[in-house]
Structure formats: C-alpha cells, structure tokens
Amino acid sequence: MAVDLIKKWMDVTRSTRGANSQIVKEKDLIVPDGKLDVQKILLLDGKIRIDHIDIQTNRISYKGQIDVTILYVPEGGDTSIVKMSGNIPLEDFMIVENLEPSDRVDFNFDIESMHYQLLNERKINAKAIIALDAVITTTKEISILEDIRTQNNNVEKKTEEIDIITMLPFKEDKKILKEELTIPQNKPAIGEILKQSMHLKDEQIKRTDDELIYNATVEIDTMYQSIEDENVLDVVTHKVVINGNIPLFRDDNEQYVFCELDVMPTYDPQISPDYDGEDRIIETEYIITAKYTTYGNEKAEIINDIYCPGKKVDISGENQTYQNLIFKDTTIAPKKVNVNAQGLSPENNNIFNAQMKAKVDDYMLDGEMLNVEGFTEIIITYITMNGEEKVGRLEDAVPFEIATPITLGQGQERGGSYDINVNVKATNVNVVNYGKDNITLDYILEFEVEIHETRNIKIIDDISFEDMSKDDLSEYPSIIVYTIKPGENMWEIAKRFNTTVEDIAEINEFEKDTKLKGGEKVIIVKKNKF
C-alpha cells in the first residue's frame, strides 16, 4: 500500500547552556611627556571596548581593548590632580567545549576589579580581572510528520499538538548622538575634565505592530578642575532624554520581544567656550546601542503513532530531545539601602556618582516560587573640597533575597528537567539622602528569569503496511469485555485490539471523544473484514 508522508521542517532549540571564565590582563602604562611625575594614584578606572568577536569550533575569539583612566597627585608639592589615559590590549579566546560556528552566542564582558602598582614615578602597572560570560544556544532543524495519504480509509492516526518557542538571533541598532552640555553660571568654568561617566535611567520599551520604540534618560556625570584654580574640583550632572525606533514587523507567531539599551562614549569630551567666551560647553558624543531579538511561537499538530486494522504497520523513526521555553518574565523590586559613609559629609565632600552591580549567588525552584539570593556591590565616587586626596571611593555590598512566582505552562509538572537562567541588574540608582557619615540610595533590582524544559518528540521517517494473515487475526478475541486501566485512552485500546475508536463507541453507545475512567468496562468485538 502506497504511503505519502506530508512533512514539515521546524527549528527547535537543542540546548541552552552557559559558560564562564575569568582572565587577567595587565600592561605597564607610561606617563606621557609633558605630564608631571606621579606621587600618588587617587583613581584608576577601565572600560572595555570590543571590536570583534568570532565564533569558532570549541572557542570564542575576541579582540578589543580596555580604556584606562588614571587620576594622580604629582610630585613636587603640587596639590592639583593630573589625568592620564592609556589602554590595555584585549585579544584572547575562551574555550567552550562542543561549540559550533552555527551556534547562537550571547557574549558578555565585565571588569570585576582593577588594581595598580606604581613601579616608579613615570610607570604604572595596571591590571584588570575580567569575567567572561557566554550563553550558547544550539538549534537544529527537525522534520515532523503532519499527515499521511493512503488509499486505505481505515488508517488510524494519533496526533499531538506541539508548541515550540525559539529565540531568533540577536540584532543591534546603533545611534550616534552629540550633545553640548552647559556648565551652570553658579559653578566655575572648566579648566580640565578629569572624568566623565554616563548611564541610562528610566528605560521604556514599547512594541507596536511594525517597530520597537524606546526612550530613556542618559545621565552624564562630569568631574572637572576649575579654570580659575586647578586645586578646586567640581561635579556637574546633565540629563538628556533620548528616544528611537527600530523597524521590526510583528508576525503572527511572535510570543516575546527583548530589547536592552546601552550607552558608550565615542571619544573623550571636548571643551568649548560659550557666548561669553568662558569654557562652559562640554561637547560629548556617544553611541546608543539597542540589542534586540524576538521569540517565535510555532504551533503544529504532528502524527506520532499510526496503526491500521487488518494491517501490520512498520514505523521507522526516533525520539529526539529538544528544549522549549516555558517561562519568561521580569520582576521589578524597588530597594533602598543606607551606606555607612563615616568621614564624609556634604560640607566637605561632593558625590560624583553612585554605581551598583548585582550578582546572583544561588537560586532554587521550590514549587511555584523561585528563590534567588545574591549581593549588590556599591561604588560611590566622591571629591573632597580640601586636602590632598581630592578624589576617593567608598565601596560596600548589600545582600538580597527575593522570591518570585513561577507559572509553568498548562500540563507541566514541577520537578521536571529544567534549565533555569536568572539575570539580575541594578538600575535607576539615585542618592536620596546625604548626611554626615551616611548616604541613602534607592534603586531597582530587575530579575529576568527564563526556564527551559527538556522535551521528547517522536520523529517518524517512514511507514510501511503489510496485510495480516489469518493466523495473525485469529490471535485477537472475537468479543471481550475490557476493563479500562487508569490513564488509558480509547485510541490505545483500539490499537491493541485491532479495531477503531468509532467501532468501540458505536457498540457501547457513547461518543468517540468520551473520556473513560479507570475501572469502567467496554465491549470490544473483533472485525473480520477490513
């Protein structure tokens, strides 16, 4: 009997896994000609710039640099602050077993800490400890059986509805923006910009049918020396509202959308005069990067078993495993913390900025709650009005613990084979109170949770039919009163006794979609002709 198999190709996620590593990079930085010798280093900072990432078999190669800024007190009794810049080359690779060039990789860098050693008055050894983190997603294409065509109308098919959610590759949209930031008249004009930092606040992402719309506030903190007295430092903060849109058509299968914004300066800020000729304009250029992707939800009804009364059926195929996203959500947790700032006061110290970095230590799925534990690092950079050490840092850490509800899809059972990804970040950090020996910060912890479940799917490659002999048919009872076992369905019973669900329903006078309970009895009569 000829059989035509109607198949459909689908992309599924074979696995999602994380890989991490830690590297140390260092370089001896030489004080440029024309700058004074170093007596004491006050501040060392670094920012990673990645120019190239290459996904290879079993390794991720990357190339870029760490831009380093150093503030120091010069020798000779001079109480001013000198700024110097340099870079540490960053060209290396990360070994990831079983990685293929076709895999999707979300690769992230983070400077965990930076250290320095003053080798002599003109040479500084700068060392950075860098954490590398990669999320690797391996996909595969499978051929599912949607239907079959035969000349035999007695072929019985068991179908299953599958619901597959997969993430498309990441894309990036970059926008270069220029700003002219003005120093207020109640502050001194600019002599030299010592340090500038920028970060995003109040991010909002909106999805329409044909685009992603984003808006946020870029907060730019600038530390500078007064043009009138280089021993006087000041801090100014500017807030710039940005917005943009990314053309992105929404198709019928879209389930989720992800968009993350980042800001990065393109070069050091420049100083220019205002209308009065005073150096009060800061020319700043930066790049807003929107990293985005969508998750598609593809549903299909597949055939995973077949039989035909009166025929021997030979089915060839195999079970394959894949991962399916069954939960994705973001929990917002407003927080507030008091930082012990002994020795600091608004009268003598001015806060440049406050930064926070959240890290996850452990998480556990307990029933319908996901418990997450970790800590948030706090770094407060400040300037001092008087004294030699005009720039300083205050570091602290605060633990966090949160329980976020998890709702698995219908039919999912707790305790299955799950892969859980938890990402947490601290955003919208604000100094809400600054008094003597105490600084109060409020901030938001964003918990992004994804849960993947490992599932099995039966892939049928080929089907053949062969007539049963009289001896084969004689093995089936002519008539039987069968007791339903718990968990059995009518399709399985009909296949076992070489009949059809329709015939069982007709003989027992119930609808063919009736769900019978364990212990119920049905009459089954053997068919002699097919």
CB contact at 8 A, 349 and 233: no
Cα 446 to chain center, whole Å? 12
Say how far apart CA 403 and CA 438 lie, in whole Å.
Answer: 29
Give the pLDDT confidence score for residue 475 in this predicted structure: 83
Which tokens in the block code for residue 433?
């109170």
Give the pLDDT confidence score for residue 528 in this predicted structure: 61
**Exposed / middle / buried, residue 106 (Cβ in 10 Å: 0-12, 13-18, 19+):** middle
CB contact at 8 A, 67 and 57: no
CB contact at 8 A, 287 and 263: yes
Give the pLDDT confidence score for residue 415 in this predicted structure: 43
Phi, psi angles (nearest 5°) of residue 484: -65, 130
Count the neighbouring beta carbons within 10 Å of the beta carbon of residue 113.
Answer: 11
Which tokens in the block code for residue 197?
């930092």
Residue pLDDT tens, the chain, 530 long? 678 899 989 888 888 888 999 999 999 999 999 899 999 999 999 999 999 999 999 999 999 999 999 999 998 766 789 999 999 999 999 999 999 999 999 989 999 999 999 999 999 999 999 999 999 999 888 899 998 888 877 888 888 888 899 888 889 999 999 999 999 999 999 999 999 999 999 999 999 999 999 999 999 999 999 998 888 899 999 999 999 999 999 988 899 999 999 999 998 899 999 999 999 999 999 999 999 999 999 888 999 889 888 888 899 988 888 999 989 999 999 999 999 999 899 999 999 999 999 999 999 988 889 999 999 999 999 999 876 678 999 999 999 999 989 887 554 444 457 888 899 999 999 999 999 999 999 999 999 999 999 988 888 989 988 888 888 888 888 889 999 998 888 888 888 888 888 898 899 888 888 888 888 898 998 776 65
Give the pLDDT confidence score for residue 56 in this predicted structure: 94
**CA-wise closest residue to 165 among 293, 318, 261:** 293
The two most distant CA atoms of the chain are separated, in Å, by 110
Please identify which residue in the block is written with the tokens 């601290």: 426
Give the pLDDT confidence score for residue 367 in this predicted structure: 82
Give the pLDDT confidence score for residue 33 in this predicted structure: 93
Give the pLDDT confidence score for residue 438 in this predicted structure: 94
Which tokens in the block code for residue 195?
């340090």
For 283, residues 6+ apart whose C-beta sits below 8 A from its C-beta are: 178, 179, 180, 181, 269, 270, 271, 272
**CA-wise closest residue to 136 among 164, 169, 103:** 103
**CA-wise closest residue to 254 among 310, 299, 197:** 299
Strand, helix or coil for residue 311: strand
Give the pLDDT confidence score for residue 530 in this predicted structure: 55
Give the pLDDT confidence score for residue 411 in this predicted structure: 45
Which tokens in the block code for residue 528?
């002699």
